[in-house]
Amino acid sequence: MQHENNIISDLLIVGNGITSQFLSLALLKSLGNNIKINVINRDITENYAEEYVRALSISLSTVNICKALGIWDKVKQYCYPVERIDVSNPSQSGPKKGYLQFDNRINDQLASYIINERKLRDIVAEELSQFNNLTIFNEDIKDISIDQNQAKLFVKNKKFIAKLLIAADGRKSIVRDILGIKAISWDYKQTALSCVVNHSKSNTKTAIEMFLDTGPFAILPLDEKTSSIIWSSDNDIMNEIKNLNSESLIEELNKRFDNSKGKILKIDNIGYFNLYFSITRKIIDHRLVLVGDSAHVVHPLAGQGINIGLRDVAQISEIIVDSIKYGLDFGSINILEEYQRSRMGDIISSALIYDGINKLYSNNIKPLEPLKSFAIRFVDKIPLVKKNLVEEASGIKENSPKLVKGIPLNL
Ligand SMILES: Cc1cc2nc3c(=O)[nH]c(=O)nc-3n(C[C@H](O)[C@H](O)[C@H](O)COP(=O)(O)OP(=O)(O)OC[C@H]3O[C@@H](n4cnc5c(N)ncnc54)[C@H](O)[C@@H]3O)c2cc1C
């Protein structure tokens, strides 16, 4: 019998961000009433700044997940297709500027799209509203305890109990902190400015990545003449930028903006994010799983954070559905080991690639200049390398979980 203050479910998810929403949807679409999910989120009104909405670059793995969950037709309506990616190193002097053009397709399929995060989340939230075995609580988490059979989460006057606790509570994960899960991390001492701009010329379905002396400057097209800018630079530089009014900020951005898109006319939705690298030493424990930014935070230069997090979701939801199908305890460590084994390679390789690119290009070390331009020219000269890079960023491998391949999960 359920004690008045004990709230029992099969699964307890902490956080209600994008990975949490996709996880609930993946499970409910295939398990229906065979699973009860409780989500614990903090009171978001107090933390509005961190709920900042940004433009997301979604890769083919995320597109396939949306297809398998039956939401791609809705999501696609809000996506801007990226047919080409131009990568350059404009700070170099001399006639041979580093410059690369990627045809952003894999087997005639577009490899990425840009979408407003809020639109994506609204679509998933609407889908979730059909299920009455998902409940979201806004609570302040006080403690967590885990034993052989259950995970328990304590809030004021209540205790949530489940077979499995999933941390989807982002880069400052409280679950990670309370349970003392260590991460390998370093501070980039960089801040990312993220904003939405209107500009005078068309986007022509092209995304731009410029490696400036001070750090990467990305222009992600949101529609014909609207783009999101993500400019990562040293904290000192960004502290000065933060103090500018809109007019001066536009002026500063126009100095770096790509000519092919004309001039910035209007700026909106400005946010600043401290950047650091972090991978937890483990992504499972007894009755515990970490997904998304709670497990790994990567540099935003390639816009891969959510894509990696949703691949976590694809893997763990497949494991849970299969366990239920065969009557197994999905919270037991033996079952969860499969999640850690299959995810760690992708997480570590993705995180380190973007970390390396950022370190190489975000500095003014003169002896590295030839290497910077060599790297770009090398990739440009060998079409197979370019093709492999686009395929790598798509996040789809032969041994990927079903959802990543666009295959629905069925009980
Ligand atoms: C500038 C910038 C640009 C980016 N651009 C891209 C991009 O183009 N493409 C891409 O794929 N990724 C991008 N990313 C990364 C992406 O935003 C993250 O990877 C993604 O938001 C992580 O999702 P999440 O659900 O794991 O965590 P979050 O989105 O951080 O969600 C965490 C959830 O946990 C909740 N929570 C937090 N603390 C508590 C608590 N104490 N108790 C209960 N609930 C709690 C929060 O309210 C929230 O609901 C970018 C990141 C930055 C900084």
Mean pLDDT over 130-148 rounds to: 96
Residue 253 CA to residue 197 CA, distance in Å, equals 10
**Structural domain contains residue 207:** no
**Structural domain contains residue 128:** yes
> Nearest C-alpha to atom 51 of ligand 1 is from which residue?
300
Q: How far is the CA of 259 from the centre of ligand 1 (A)?
A: 32
Q: Is residue 209 in contact with ligand 1, taking CB distance under 6 Å?
A: no
Mean pLDDT over 114-142 rounds to: 95
Instruction: Indicate whether 357 pLDDT > 60.
Output: yes
Residue 310 CA to residue 315 CA, distance in Å, equals 9
Domain CATH code at residue 349: 3.50.50.60
Chain centroid, CA 205 distance in Å: 22
Instruction: Indicate which atom in ligand 1 lies nearest the CA of residue 297.
Output: 19
Q: Is residue 303 in contact with ligand 1, taking CB distance under 6 Å?
A: yes
180 CB-contact burial (10 Å; exposed 0-12 / middle 13-18 / buried 19+): exposed
Instruction: Indicate which atom in ligand 1 lies nearest the CA of residue 16.
Output: 49
Q: Which tens digits make up the pLDDT trace of 144-162?
A: 999 999 999 999 999 999 9
Mean pLDDT over 370-394 rounds to: 63
What is the longest distance spanned by two Cα atoms in the chain? 77
User: Which residue bears the tokens 């390998």?
Assistant: 184
Instruction: Indicate whether 293 pLDDT > 50.
Output: yes
**Structural domain contains residue 363:** yes
Q: Is residue 194 in contact with ligand 1, taking CB distance under 6 Å?
A: yes
Q: Which tens digits make up the pLDDT trace of 170-214?
A: 999 999 999 999 999 889 899 999 999 999 999 999 999 888 887
Q: How far is the CA of 325 from the centre of ligand 1 (A)?
A: 31
Q: Is residue 170 in contact with ligand 1, taking CB distance under 6 Å?
A: yes
Q: Is residue 144 in contact with ligand 1, taking CB distance under 6 Å?
A: no
Domain residue limits at 321: 6-186+277-405
Residue 217 CA to residue 256 CA, distance in Å, equals 8
Q: How far is the CA of 322 from the centre of ligand 1 (A)?
A: 28
Number of domains comprising the chain: 1
Q: Is residue 42 in contact with ligand 1, taking CB distance under 6 Å?
A: yes
**Structural domain contains residue 246:** no
Helices 305-325 and 18-31: angle between axes, nearest 10 degrees: 30
**Structural domain contains residue 272:** no
> Nearest C-alpha to atom 21 of ligand 1 is from which residue?
306
Residue 305 CA to residue 314 CA, distance in Å, equals 15
**Ligand 1, residues 20, 46, 54: which to mutate, most atoms within 8 A of Cβ?**
54
Instruction: Indicate whether 280 pLDDT > 80.
Output: yes
Q: What is the pLDDT of residue 363?
A: 61
**Structural domain contains residue 218:** no
Question: Is beta strand 55-59 parallel, antiparallel or unpaired with respect to 284-285?
Answer: unpaired
CB 285 within 8 A of CB 179: yes
**Structural domain contains residue 374:** yes
User: Which residue bears the tokens 């500009």?
Assistant: 199
**4: pLDDT confidence band, cut at 50, 70 and 90?**
low
Q: How far is the CA of 77 from the centre of ligand 1 (A)?
A: 23
pTM across the whole model:
0.91
Q: Which tens digits make up the pLDDT trace of 24-40?
A: 999 999 999 999 999 99
**Structural domain contains residue 99:** yes
